[in-house]
Structures are given as C-alpha cells and as structure tokens.
Amino acid sequence: MAGDESVFLRAKDRSYKGLTEDEQKEWSGPFYFIQAADPQLGLMKAWRIGDCDSGGDENIFLTQTQSSLQKAFQPRKISLNFSGCPFREEQVKDLKEALRGSDPDIPLVFVSGNHDLGNIPTPESVEQFCRDWGDDYFSFWVGGVLCLVLNSQFFFDSSGCPELMEAHEVWLESQLQKAIHTPSRHVLVFQHIPLFLHKPDEEDDYFNLQKGIRERLIQRFKQAGVKAVFSGHYHRNAGGCYDGLDMVVSSAVGCQLGDDFHGVRVVIVTEDDIIHRYHSLDQLTERGMDEDLKKLLV
C-alpha cells in the first residue's frame, strides 16, 4: 500500500528516506526523540494466562502512547523509535493499524528483535520483517547525529543465516569506519538486545549478549566514538555506563516483567550530551515531559 510505503517502509537500501547524510549532516540545535521498546501485541495476555491467540492488552497501551505523545509534545515534531516488534501476521496488522493514527510528520524507526526474527533468525524471517517494516539494519542522520540501527539477533545466534550475518558485519564495519572519519555531533546505536544489563563484565544471560561478542562490540563502538546504545528486550529499565559509552536499556511500552510502569524513554540530544529519562504513559498524559528536560530544548 502507498500508505505503508510512506509510513512503515522508509528504511530501504540501508538508509532512511528523509533522514540521509545529505539532508541531515549539519547540526541544527537541540532535539529529542522517543524510544518505545517491546510493544509485542498479546504478550501481556500470554504471560498472564498462556494464550495470545486473541490479541492482548498492548493495543490499549499503544493507543495511550499515541495520545500521550500528541498531548505532551505538540507542536514539536519528534521521531519515534520502536525496538522489538510482533511476529505474527495478525499482530503486524494490528500494530500497523494502531500506528496509523500517529502524526505523519513524525518518522517511525523500527528496530528488529527476537519476537519477529526469532531467537535464531532465518533468511525467511528476515525477509518477512523487511517486507513488513523495511530494512533490518540501516543508518540515518538527524541534525548532525549519525544513527546506526543494527540487527542484534545476528549477534545472539546467526547459525540459521551465516551469509546474512557476514553481510551485516561487512556493513557495520564500513559504518564504524565512516563514523571515525566523518565529522558528526554524536554517534548513536539502536539494537534490540543490550550489550549488557548493568555492567560489561556481567555473566551471560538470555537478556544480554555473550561476553566475547559484547567485549568486541564495546571496543569497536568506543573506537568509532559511539556515545550511547539504546536497547529494549529486558522488559525492565536497566543499563549502565562504561568508559564513556552509555548502555541504555528501556522497559516495555507493553508487557512489564518488573516493577516499571508502561512507558517510553524521552531522549534529549544537545550539542554536547545525550540526556534520557523513562516516562510513564500516565505522566506524559497528565503533565508531559519533566520540566528540566524541556529547558534543554530552549
């Protein structure tokens, strides 16, 4: 559909329509974006009663997310980043239907995760994601900031698609080299699975990347000047800093596995720093983003 092309399929040919280097390479002042993690439709119901065939409560929270953002952030325009999307045909249809109510001037950036590619991705699952949401990895620019969207399922287990993993690796290395040699205000990475949950030397877990892979990525990211890595997957807020690299782990807009509220992360990008804070949907609806964050945008 033409609507899908302009809203959901803007990531193409490893770039993002409207957010290219030629269009967005120059710093243009402070801005902000929203990270919404893990909106898998039906997961709350599945977790509660073991049945996700008939949909779930996440539709309610996606609708609340739209109204909260529109009330809290108008008339400013933002970009909205979704990390970890649903994997069934009906869920894809429902999520797209929920997102069609978003302001068309707000770019929607989709980050692939385990609930659409599988814990062991295959060429078929990757191809399906690309048909539904655009490229599974790509780069884009916003106001002088270089952003890399990665397919972290390849880091988790690429045994089902080694050729795709190799292509991803070649592309990633080229992008990191570009980050080293191309002036930018900041470099940000978006991937579904966190490098680590709290500290880089923690034990391997389902919710982080294996130590060897984690350590290599951290070193490569640091050499390329990456300022922050934004992830989800954990369904709880977590994260930590290591030698100037901020590992940001955001809880879910949908199913919570801890004590956090349904919400999104507000990220402020200034000339010198990246400031972020998790906001509940109720807070955004009632009073908007925190006042100290608003002042950074003046």
Nearest to 38 by CA among 247, 211, 265: 265
Long-range Cβ contacts of 44-51 (<8 Å, 24+ apart): 44/254, 44/255, 47/255, 47/257
Distance CA 69, CA 72 (A): 5
pLDDT digit string, tens, across residues 50-72: 554 444 444 444 444 444 444 44
Which CATH number do you get for residue 36? 3.60.21.10
Distance CA 152, CA 111 (A): 9
Q: What is the pLDDT of residue 59?
A: 45
Mean pLDDT by 10 residues, the chain (298 residues): 72 96 95 88 51 46 46 47 60 83 86 91 96 96 97 97 98 98 97 97 96 98 98 95 97 87 94 96 91 94
Per the structure, the complete domain to which residue 69 belongs is given by: 11-296
Specify if 186 maps to a domain.
yes
Specify if 1 maps to a domain.
no
Q: What is the pLDDT of residue 84?
A: 54
CB-hemisphere CA count at 13 Å for 105?
7
How many structural domains comprise the chain? Answer: 1
Q: What is the pLDDT of residue 220?
A: 98
Residues above pLDDT 70, as percent of the chain: 83
User: Taking a C-beta distance cutoff of 8 angstroms, is the pair 53, 98 a contact?
Assistant: no
Specify if 3 maps to a domain.
no
Specify if 79 maps to a domain.
yes
Specify if 176 maps to a domain.
yes
pLDDT digit string, tens, across residues 177-195: 999 999 999 999 999 999 9
Q: What is the pLDDT of residue 7?
A: 82
pLDDT digit string, tens, across residues 21-36: 999 999 999 999 999 9
Q: What is the pLDDT of residue 31?
A: 94
Helix (H, G, I), strand (E, B) or coil at 98: helix
Q: Name every residue whose Cβ is closer than 8 Å to that of residue 3 and which is 6 or more positions away in sequence.
A: 100
